[in-house]
Amino acid sequence: MKTFYYALILSLLACNAGRNETDIQLNDGEKWEVNAEMRPHIERASVLLENYISAGDGDYHRLADDLKSQNS
């Protein structure tokens, strides 16, 4: 679940470069509900991100490739 939020926030920040983070409002501060179809994808992405962080690898290109292939 964290991965989804990280990816979403990073995407929004990249698309809105130069804008202040406080301009972004997600569901009036409430958590988004995840439908059953998306949950397995988000959980797998979360595992990939947790493994990346715990390994301390720093190869974000490999993480991006792993996430991209997981979503294909």
Instruction: For 11-54, write each residue's pLDDT tens digit.
Output: 766 665 555 555 656 777 787 788 898 889 889 999 999 999 99
Strand spans (E) along 1-72: none
CA–CA dist 46, 38 (Å, integer): 12
pLDDT at 30: 81
The pLDDT-based confidence of 1 (bands split at 50, 70, 90) is low
pTM for the whole structure? 0.53
Checking if the pLDDT of 71 tops 60, the result is yes
**What pLDDT, on a 0 to 100 scale, did the predictor assign at position 29?**
75
Q: Nearest CA to 34 among 43, 25, 21?
A: 43
CA 67 to CA 49: how far, in whole Å?
A: 9
pLDDT, mean of residues 52-71 = 88
